[in-house]
Amino acid sequence: MNIQLSICAIFVFLFSASKQTYFLNKNYIDTINKNAKTWKAGVNFHPETPLKFILGLLGSKGVKVSSTGPFKSHDTLYKSNVSIPIEFDARKRWKNCTTIGTIRDQGNCGSCWAFSTTGAFADRLCIASNSKYNELLSAEQVTSCCYRCGLGCQGGYPIRAWQHFYKHGLVTGGNFNSFQGCQPYTFPPCSVNNSCSGETEKNHKCQKRCYGNKTISYRNDHKYIKEPPYYLDYNYIQQDIMNYGPIEASFEVYDDFLSYKSEYRCS
């Protein structure tokens, strides 16, 4: 299998030092809707949700790490004269790879770094195998077992998750309570109220066995990436996606991001 993985990582979260989540108030959301031209804001969180909780959900660390590379700029499939289409939808390009576009729920846990990397890994594995392999990979395993990756539910470094897949591999794992794959996610989805059933970080314990689908062999289920991970310069992101599939990216978010509801559709 020819699997190449890429990373574009830029991450820093800017937030007011204020402890009040003023940005979840209705007034603030109304103000956003008066000014925003391309998207719609709405209520996603209870207005009294503590700032600490919100910050805990933003788990991608390591903005400085990306500056050291390695950056990938050469590939037999990159072309200098390629014409980049106006629109490219990986879900349509690789229809049989149903993990692409699957939206998963990280629950009350700052594990976006684990979901985004395992998600892109699963997508690329499917693409590289001509859709013979099409499984969700375990966000749980990397969140709870990769100690070098960061602090589990308190955030992690996406590049280190990729390094972990390269060295130690990753098992399959579906969503909470799904019994799908070797290690499904153990945190329940959060409701509108953030009532995450009082689950805590303690629920994440590294387990070296398959507790989901118990007939799977833990050892044999590990999938590895073929080459060490790399970063992509802006100029090569599009070509890499068009040839190999989704990438993992992190981005800065501002206080209005938490109220994102939908884009406007022109009809």
Ligand X SMILES: *[C@@H]1O[C@H](CO)[C@@H](O)[C@H](O)[C@H]1NC(C)=O
The contact set with ligand X (CB under 6 A) reads 79, 81, 83, 96, 130-131, 180, 191-193, 195, 213, 215-216
**Shortest spacing between CB 39 and ligand X, in angstroms:** 23
Q: How far is the CB of 185 from ligand X (least distance, A)?
A: 15
Q: How far is the CB of 181 from ligand X (least distance, A)?
A: 8
Instruction: Specify the residue, 152 or 188, whose C-beta has the smaller distance to ligand X.
Output: 188
Q: Phi and psi of 213, rounded to 5°?
A: -85, 105
Measured CA to CA, the distance from residue 128 to residue 217 in angstroms comes to 23
Closer of 17 and 84 to ligand X (Cβ): 84
Nearest CB to ligand X, comparing residues 160 and 223: 223
Smallest distance from ligand X to CB 124, Å: 15
Q: Which is nearer to ligand X, 5 or 182 (CB)?
A: 182
| C-beta closer to ligand X: residue 31 or 134 | 134
Provide the minimum distance between the beta carbon of 94 and ligand X in the complex, in angstroms, as a whole number.
8
Residues 6+ apart with CB under 8 A from 207: 144, 183
- Taking a C-beta distance cutoff of 8 angstroms, is the pair 146, 156 a contact? yes
CB of 133 to ligand X, least distance (A): 11
Residue closer to ligand X by CB (options 16, 96) is 96
- Sequence-separated (6 or more) residues with CB below 8 Å from residue 147: none
How far from 7 is each of 226, 260, 265, CA to CA, in Å? Answer: 14, 25, 30
Please spell the DSSP secondary structure of 1-65, one letter per residue: -----EEE----B---S-SS-GGGSHHHHHHHHHH-SSEEE---S-TT--HHHHHHH--B--TTG
